[in-house]
Chains A and B, each alone.
Chain A
Amino acid sequence: MAAPAADVIRAEAVEGAKVAARPATGPWLVKHTAEWRQIGIVTVYLSLLAAMYLFPACRNLGFLAGACFFSFLNAVVIHNHLHQGIFHSRRLNMFWRAVLSFGSLYPASANIPSHNLVHHHFDDEGQPDWAAPEHVSFGWNLLNLVHFPNVAGPNTFAGVQRWKAVCNRKEFSRQYVFENVFAFGLTGVLFVLDFWTTLFFIVLPQLYGARCILRINLIQHEGCDTQSEWNHSRNFVGRAFNWIMCNNGYHTIHHNRAGLHWSVLDEAHRREVVTRIDPRLDEPSMVLYLLRTYVIGLARPRHGDVAAAERGAVPVPLAPREARRAEAEAASA
């Protein structure tokens, strides 16, 4: 194959820079106007929890299912917020982390080592990602999906403890404690006031969301080639899905350009990813994928050499993973 024209590469890089820079205008309170969608999601979620806790009439299947779904979205907001804080105010960002921690009953700051540093690079000092699909190995794939959080969760928190032990992470440790105290303290108070209502209508949705966001690691990387630069992830590209999921379906571009704001990932996906990935890693619907892979299909998906798709594509400037990790580490300090 002929070498790519330098101007093509430059054009893509310049276009990428434009997209990255686009939301630089700062509206009131938040850094990007799109963040109001995330704030709205969390507000709806906490309102559902409050309604079920306070009003017995709201303790029905609709509210519970809604709370579980929005709990998952709360964890998506944690993911986005820990990449780029929502608010201009640093103090407000730190407090928002605590609010989000209550929503998912785990300290949101755990995402920095577990997601931003380890998962984004599929590597922990030479050892596998704490949430790598290989951590589960049931023959019936549905069991892998259900069981995955039981392994990825403890792996993550053990890894965070090791990461915290390294120096110059005192501020992280303080924030981590604050989030734990806030999340578990508030939940504990609710327990004292009404144990069973809290267990059924607060903790159950909290844990559902926390466990589902862990499962996303399996869903988005199973059968992919994590050694490749563009075929390490599965994307879900439905428009409605990505509206409510704040573009978290575009996972490849998010891994490779973690600094891009979530609101521009769809454009970046179309521009940089589509021509470089195996079409099987561009799924139109997550629901259909889940049904096909975990309900209808019994065995784990095997796609073979998915990375072949990128070998014939025009290269695009992309910093090595070590450099990207160092950048993410510096940003999290």
Chain B
Amino acid sequence: MLSRETMGVLALAILWVNTLLVVGAALQEAARLWRLRVRWGGSGLAGRALVGRVAHAEGPGGALAMHRVEQVGRYAADDGGRRAILFADKSYRGEAFAGVVTTGAGEVRVAPGDAEVWAAPAAIREATRRPDGGFDGAYADARKARGYDRMVEVPVRAGAEVWLVGALRDAGDGKVLGPGPDGLLLVSAVDPRRLCARKLALVALFVAGVLLAACGCTALALWPPYFGTVSTIGGVLGLAYFLLVQPAGTALRDAVRVPARAAVRGTWVEGAAEPSEVRPRHA
């Protein structure tokens, strides 16, 4: 027969294996961020990233770069019974346009092409506030099997402060920045080093919180007498913790995504002049 003590040990073992796996996955996210920080931020941003201001650019509306989120809208209703369109992100893309950035080391020309574009949260919010056409037409499309397609375009415009990472080469008539050896060109409207540091701090907080909570549940569950009132409260909390730590882990994964791949989503409610409830995850 399996005693309560044996089963208690088994349950705690399951709780801890799971905890360590969730922590391990969080540390994987931290390692990715750390590699980005080292690669794109370095120490003091010297040598690896160029910081400057966009002098002029030849992209649409004078954009140096564009972050694009392709979305599909499906018809829904909000709590008030009004019609609404619910957006899901289909894909994320970035593009750099020809332009000039004034940096501390002089002017640098940016080569057009594919790029990783890190837009500022405010700019993403602003971009989602410009729906194409009226609500009725969009809603009619949203009711069809194909859904209502729209592209959220977030530009990095002239005058903006930018962080650039890529390969710098001397073109004779000046310096040109293009993709690095790994094929990647980063145009960021936010300080990548600080952003990575903030996300790393969030991971650290999460790991500490998860371990603390697991320790707390374990301590309560093992409170003498075993399986008494306090111990039972520990068991209840342990089960709740086991069920909640899993969505907490995926929420952390989403929260530490880099801006180029952060979920935008959103809802457009009838009567509202603009889509709302857009919460970029890197805000």
Contact = CB atoms under 8 A, between A and B. Distances in A.
B276 interface: no
Contact of A158 (B4, B22, B250): B250
B281 to A, nearest CB: 13
A59 B250 contact: no
B268 interface: no
A196 B250 CA distance: 29
Nearest to B78: A165
A153 B21 CA distance: 14
A167 to B, nearest CB: 5
Nearest to B146: A322
Nearest to B86: A165
A64 interface: yes
Contacts of B11: 199-200, 204
Contacts of B236: 195
Contacts of A147: 21-22, 24-25
Contacts of A317: none
Given A138-B28, A203-B239, A126 B250 contact: no
Contact of A150 (B25, B77, B227): B25
Nearest to A62: B2
Interface in B15-29: 17-18, 21-22, 24-25, 28
A151 interface: yes
Nearest to B85: A166
Nearest to A157: B247
Nearest to B243: A207
B72 interface: yes
A151 B4 CA distance: 30
A324 to B, nearest CB: 13
Contacts, number: 97
A154 B247 contact: yes
A82 B213 CA distance: 37
B70 A195 contact: no
A138 B22 CA distance: 11
B235 A196 contact: yes
A125 B148 CA distance: 12
A57 interface: yes
A150 B249 contact: yes
B83 to A, nearest CB: 8
A311 B233 CA distance: 59
A200 B4 contact: yes
A147 B249 CA distance: 11
A60 interface: yes
A60 B7 CA distance: 10
B239 A199 contact: yes
A255 to B, nearest CB: 21
Contacts of A326: 145
Given A151-B249, A153-B246, A200 B89 contact: no
Contact of B250 (A155, A165, A200, A203): A155
B235 A199 contact: yes
B197 interface: no
B184 interface: no
B24 A167 contact: no
A124 interface: yes
Contact of B74 (A155, A166, A199): A166
A143 B74 CA distance: 37
Interface string B39-56: 000000000000000000
B90 to A, nearest CB: 3
B2 A158 contact: no
A158 B247 contact: yes
Contacts of A165: 76, 86
A127 B90 contact: yes
Given A146-B21, A150-B22, A165-B76, A60 B2 contact: yes
B202 interface: no
Given A150-B246, A167-B76, A199-B235, A59 B91 contact: no
A147 B4 CA distance: 26
Contact of B77 (A124, A155, A158, A167): A167
A90 interface: no
Contact of B1 (A56, A125, A146): A56
B149 to A, nearest CB: 10
B7 to A, nearest CB: 4
A125 B88 contact: yes
Contacts of A124: 88
A24 interface: no
A199 B14 CA distance: 13
B97 interface: no
28 contacts: A57-B1, A125-B72, A125-B89, A125-B90, A126-B88, A126-B89, A126-B91, A127-B90, A136-B25, A138-B25, A143-B21, A150-B250, A151-B25, A151-B250, A154-B249, A154-B251, A166-B74, A166-B76, A166-B86, A167-B77, A195-B235, A196-B227, A196-B235, A199-B11, A199-B239, A200-B10, A200-B11, A204-B11
Which A-B residue pairs are the 3 nearest by beta carbons? A126-B90, A200-B7, A154-B247
Interface of A: 56-57, 59-61, 64, 124-127, 136-138, 143, 146-147, 149-151, 153-155, 157-158, 162, 165-167, 195-196, 199-201, 203-204, 326
